Amino acid sequence: DMKKHSRTTKQRSIILEEVRKLKSHPTADEVFRLVRERLPQVSLATVYRNLDVLVEAGEIVRLETSGASYRFDGDLAEHYHIRCTECGCVDDVPALEIEVPEGWVQSTTDYEVAGHKLEFVGLCAGCKAQDLPGDAGDEVVNA
């Protein structure tokens, strides 16, 4: 059915646009909320299915971070990620000139190494600010 196919294609291209627009590595639910503003009839299942199709097609990347839910990245250039251990947000880290010893890993294990994922973890600026003891504005400390 061509009509259904063109609807699917339109939904998929809007989903792709929304993921690429965001630098925040959105979860499927966040993508759904944004897409629904443009396509009020869209279902969560449709968004999930299309995210899967876009990942399979190599249009977006599904981040397999240690966070609670999958996040999606529209930036296909090589780069790493840093995840906040408190709120779970994920930010980009530019690709580093680091030698990852895949050959050594392969020679010291029984695995055939296909690649690697590097994820940094820490506290984002927002969570770091909340972790400060007391209100920073209250007192002036003379050094």
Token duo for residue 91:
């930010």
Instruction: Give pLDDT tens digits for 7-25.
Output: 778 999 999 999 999 888 9
Note the pTM of the prediction, 2 decimals: 0.66
* pLDDT per position as a tens digit, 63-118: 876 666 788 898 888 888 888 988 888 888 887 777 778 888 889 998 988 877 77
Q: For residue range 53-74, list pLDDT tens digits in order.
A: 999 999 999 987 666 678 889 8
Q: What's residue 92's pLDDT?
A: 86
| Dist. CA 118–CA 28, nearest whole Å | 22
